[in-house]
Structure 1
Amino acid sequence: MTVETFTPPDLFTPIGPYSHIAKSGPFISISGTPGVDSATGLMAGTDAYSQSRQILQNFRRMLESVGARLEDVMHVHVYLKHVEDFAAMNRAYAEVFTSHLPARTVICVADLPKKGALLTMDLNAICNPAAG
């Protein structure tokens, strides 16, 4: 099985030598994603709620680009700069993941590479296109 790597053309450019998506068969990995608005190239806001909403919107677009949905997500990793932002991130997260609740890990970190980012998330998903 081969691994395809790419960044959808309508998404912001990664800040390093990596792709947003790696896919092999039904397995999908999405790289660490900050809350960047692709239309502007800027952070979606200065608060954790706005940035979390943007990350989750970006995830939806990335998954759709490979024929998957948020319901196909198995595990989400969240990296927070400030534990005080946990509730704001959770509020945005709960608005998107309502009935399908993938496994999740939240880790507090000292810093993030994207200037202005309060958090970043990555995920793993499994998509069966035949299940439609």
Structure 2
Amino acid sequence: MNTLSVTDHNDKSLPSHCHINTTKGIYNIPLTDILFIESHQKKSLVHLKQETLILHLPLYRLIEALPSELFLQTHRSFLVNLKNISHIDKQKDPWTVYFFDSDEYAFISRSFRHQFIAAISD
């Protein structure tokens, strides 16, 4: 069985982590390492700074578990880490989100634009 939990350390110098227990392994991932999460064929692809993990967890489970101050759904298939966004290209439809030190990108669909703008304006 796959489980997911988010832990917060008492020491402010340590980042919060996402603890994922799957049938294939146990992952303890700093939330700051997650660029975005993509839903693909009933799996979630967790795009990290250095690699991509394939999890047999639906996107909605990750949305429920991860802190909403850091992670925002921008498309029915994407959940992005707001702290790792380098820029947004608004010339295409859907809008494209790019991340620091990465060639990876995610999308912002029309139905999530208002929510996204409100989140980054705060």
Q: How does the TM-score come out when normalised to structure 2?
A: 0.32
Higher strand share: 2
